[in-house]
Amino acid sequence: MNNKKTKVIIRIAFVLYVIVAGYFLFFAGTMGREHLKENYTYNLMLFKEIKRFVKWSMVSKTGFEAMIINVFGNVICFIPFGLLLPMNFKCFRKVLSVTLVTYLVSLLVETVQLITKTGAFDVDDILLNTLGGVIGCIIFELAIKKKMDRCE
């Protein structure tokens, strides 16, 4: 596959990722977004929800599944972002820049969820999403960057 086709495929992958992630972050009924909440919900205490999920996971199978979905799901959801962002944009090929952009995108997502009452604003989610973006960028750094630099 030539360089131009590869770039097109990477761009399409990024757009598809944004669409799918947007669906799960704002519209997926399986993620508790089928009904708008009456009240604004938020958590501003770092690690509060993570600790709650870990404690709940120790007492029930449902709690364990919820912890996996919440904690690991937030990380896994943003790994492709941290991987595809530097693949698409040269200016985001440093871990620090990907970390900052992932943090800002996550902050925006959480704020929109709060305002639209389609989710809860949770600082733990921002931390976990940002961690996912960093992991994706590290994967890019370790596995892909060298190959992309040779192609350009």
Element (H, E) at 64: helix 61-67
Question: What pLDDT is recorded for position 41?
Answer: 87
Question: What pLDDT is recorded for position 35?
Answer: 54
Per-run averaged pLDDT (10 residues), the chain, 152 residues: 85 96 83 65 93 87 85 96 95 96 98 89 97 97 74 58
Beta-bridge partners for 122:
43
Question: What pLDDT is recorded for position 59?
Answer: 83
What pTM, to 2 d.p., does this model score?
A: 0.87
Please give the full DSSP string across 113-145, using - where no structure is assigned. Answer: HHHHTSS-EEHHHHHHHHHHHHHHHHHIIIIIH
DSSP3 helix / strand / coil % (the chain, rounded to 5)? 80, 5, 20
Domain ranges for the chain, please list them. Answer: 3-151
Decide if 53 contacts 68 (C-beta within 8 A): no
Helix axes 95-116, 73-88, angle to 10 degrees: 130
